[in-house]
Structure 1
Amino acid sequence: MTRRCPNCGAVVPKGSLTCPQCYTEVPRDDLDQTEPAYGGRNYERPRDEYERQLKKRKKSLTVALILAVVPAFFGILGLGQIYEDRRDSKGWKFLVTGLVFFIILVSMIVLLNMSGILGAIMMAVPLILFGGLYICTAIASVADVYLGSLRIFGLR
């Protein structure tokens, strides 16, 4: 049985709420009978096939750990999280935070080399502070990749 628009008489596809020609709302009496998916046949995946496909999608922990540890020496954090799920904002937050701390550290080291003994004394505390923050952020990034989430520590 084909559906027709009550306004213009055009054929309306099954499941459509409006007419494709005049955009008039069509009666919704047969919307409960949806068309079967996958070319007219009902398709249900067996449970074991579903679990096998989930395991295929899971990323390698070794690769994620390598991406979390090695680039951290160059100021790039969060690549392990981005590798696992690029849509999750956590990895991008680690990346931005790591880059900011690393750029500050490098510029402080350059300024330390240009300054004299008084400048070195004045830069020691901030240098240690930002160095500690960067190292803590790098450890948190690696721990997040290895443990799966830092929510167990109350961090998000």
Structure 2
Amino acid sequence: MSTNKCPHCGEYIQKNSLTCQKCFKEIPRDQPLSPEYVIKEDKKEKSGKPPTVAVLLAVIPPFFGLLGLGMIYLDHRDKNGYWILAIGLALFLPFLALLYIMSSSGFLSAVLLFIVLVIIFLLYASAAAAAFIETVFGSVFRILKF
């Protein structure tokens, strides 16, 4: 089943919805929606861009702290890609700073910093996995069958 975007607020809605669940405005039915508001299930159909480039953008840049570039490549109007990018940078930059501090600190503080580094790395890795799944499959919930 394909989905549409609300022409008023841009929220994803079911194709047969009469009103938007976010802004509660009526969806116009007298004229068909323009192609930029119709979203297909397949990422290639959604953007018309090759999915191979999106997958590469979802896999390679996270090693440099840039998450969500595949999502932004597929749909630059979707704000989720920009949120993932901001979260990735907010986790990656402190990780590098703590790694630098840990290299010049004593043993006890290095052990404590290592614990913090592991926690930050796990958060970053989970955000990177979520960005990859969102890019390739369109939704994390589609993988989990929700």
Scaled by the length of structure 2, what TM-score is found?
0.65
Which of 94, 100, 118 is matched with 2:90 structurally? 100
Paired letter, 2:89 = L
Shift of 1:151: 3.4
Paired letter, 1:106 = L
Paired letter, 1:148 = G
Which of 35, 57, 62 is matched with 1:67 structurally? 57
Residue 32 of structure 2: aligned partner: none
Residue 109 of structure 1: aligned partner: 99
Shift of 1:87: 0.7
Which of 71, 78, 81 is matched with 2:68 structurally? 78
- 1:36-82 Cα offsets, whole Å, 9 max, x none, are xxxxxxxxxxxxxxxxxx95952211000001111100000000000
Q: Partners in 2 of 1:154 and 1:109 — Cα distance? A: 38
- Report the 3-state secondary structure (helix = DSSP H, G, I; strand = E; otherwise coil) of the residue aligned with 2:59: helix
Q: Partners in 2 of 1:57 and 1:132 — Cα distance? A: 31
- Report the 3-state secondary structure (helix = DSSP H, G, I; strand = E; otherwise coil) of the residue aligned with 1:87: coil
Paired letter, 1:104 = P
Which of 94, 112, 133 is matched with 1:143 structurally? 133
Shift of 1:104: 1.1
Q: Partners in 2 of 1:60 and 1:122 — Cα distance? A: 45
Dislocated runs of 4+, deviation >4 Å: 54-57
Q: Partners in 1 of 2:130 and 2:93 — Cα distance? A: 19
Q: Partners in 1 of 2:70 and 2:89 — Cα distance? A: 15
**What are structure 1's unaligned runs of at least 5 residues?**
1-53
Q: Partners in 1 of 2:47 and 2:71 — Cα distance? A: 15
Scaled by the length of structure 1, what TM-score is found?
0.61
Q: Larger Cα Rg: Structure 1 or Structure 2?
A: 1
Identical amino acids, percent of aligned pairs: 36
Which of 91, 105, 117 is matched with 2:81 structurally? 91
Q: Per the alignment, do residues 94 and 55 of structure 1 end up closer, same or farther by CA in structure 2, a change over 3 Å counting?
A: closer
